[in-house]
Amino acid sequence: MLFVWCIAALAGAAVANVGGGVIIDPDGDGLPGVAGGVPSDLTIDPAPGVSAEDMAGGAWAGTAYAFDSSTGVGRVLGPSGTQTLNASAPTGDGEIYMAGRGGTLWIIDPSTGLARAAAGITLADVRGLALSPSGKVFAVNEIAFGQPDELHAIDPQSGNSVRIGSMGLPGVQGLAFCGDTLYAYDIGPGNGIGQGLVTVDVNNAQTTDVDPNQNSSPQIGIQTISCGPDGKLYGGRSEMYRIDTVTADEELVGSGGYSDVRGWDFLEAGGPVCRYTIKKSRAKRGCETCPPKGSSYRTEGQCEDVKDCNKKLKTTIACPDGNGICKLKGKAESCS
């Protein structure tokens, strides 16, 4: 059985010729060799359901977890029913998208941990997923180990994807929006030392290092990032770190109850947010599907009453379907 699994793992591994030798990344973490819990990391007794945890996600081997972002502690929900999970994003309605190898976009039920297929996708090695405020799903796809990753936009209903461009980085292992800004985390070309936190231009995939003097740490090995309600990113793999989006500083939150996590995200049942009625919507740079005038636009700004929201909205968002941007103006309609 072990021999059969090894052959299957190598058959799906990322391979590249580097310096005359063959580099194999069988566990999809951007580093040569197997470092995570493969083929199974079900080493902790499963516990059903999410209680007070505010995050959910999954590991490379397919285990689904719930997490508490205030302590960094997690616990097993159970097997998801699939493997090679390597990226996640919120769905926008309280569940989690996940993808990796195998050509499927999955949805994880945070109450059971079970995965169900959302759509077949043409991206063979997804290393990052992100949901924009406008509802557009972005993905990082690895072409080959050690080569620059690419940014794509995915339609989660059909699975169709549009290539935006090369990110110029060979080790992107996480993707997340905080507000209208897209962030990624780069761990480098196989040694765990990359640029760390970068911003990503959603129109051309170009990246900008948040702090050129601060690189990623191979000891930490961040594999996923997600934006919290405090406006900071939460990244990790077998430990949880709080990452400042301005300074790129990383602060340990905690650990325990999980291992080799490749995707986690905040569940979106945490409270009402400001919503605006679109009054003006202008498509730019080739976008054809901007939110129409009169439609409702959901922001990330939390509120208790509509009086907590800015009266007017003025923002630029990524095009929901393809390249380009949308310039929006709106009026506060509700806190819900």
Range of the domain at 277: 273-335
Residues 6+ apart with CB under 8 A from 283: 289, 290, 319, 324, 325, 326
pTM equals 0.74
Half-sphere exposure of 308 (CA within 13 A, CB side): 14
274 token code pair: 């400001």
Positive or negative, the CA dihedral 137, 140, 142, 147 is positive
CA distance linking residue 239 with residue 297, whole number of Å: 35
Q: Which of 217, 233, 266 is the last residue of a domain?
A: 266
In a domain, 96, yes or no: yes
CA distance linking residue 328 with residue 313, whole number of Å: 7
Q: Is residue 124 located within the same domain as residue 91?
A: yes
Residue 104's CATH number: 2.120.10.30
Q: Which of 247, 266, 285 is the last residue of a domain?
A: 266
In a domain, 137, yes or no: yes
Each residue's pLDDT, cut to its tens digit, for the chain (336 residues) gives: 333 333 233 334 554 443 444 456 788 888 876 554 333 344 434 333 333 579 999 999 999 999 999 899 999 999 999 999 999 999 988 899 999 999 999 999 999 999 999 999 999 999 999 999 888 999 999 999 889 999 999 999 999 999 999 999 999 999 999 988 999 999 998 889 999 999 999 999 999 999 999 999 988 999 999 999 888 999 999 999 999 999 999 999 999 999 999 999 998 644 567 888 999 999 988 888 788 889 878 776 778 888 989 999 998 887 766 678 889 999 999 887
- Nearest Cα neighbor of 165 from 149, 154, 180 is 149
CA distance linking residue 301 with residue 237, whole number of Å: 28
331 token code pair: 């009026």
In a domain, 25, yes or no: no
Q: Is residue 216 located within the same domain as residue 248?
A: yes
CB 193 within 8 A of CB 144: no
β-partners of residue 73 are 68
Q: Is residue 311 located within the same domain as residue 170?
A: no
In a domain, 39, yes or no: no
DSSP string, 95-113: -EEEEEBSSEEEEE-TTT-
CA distance linking residue 295 with residue 130, whole number of Å: 23
Name the one residue in this structure whose structure tokens are 């770190």.
241
Residues in the chain: 336
In a domain, 222, yes or no: yes
Q: Which of 218, 249, 266 is the last residue of a domain?
A: 266
Name the one residue in this structure whose structure tokens are 């999954």.
58
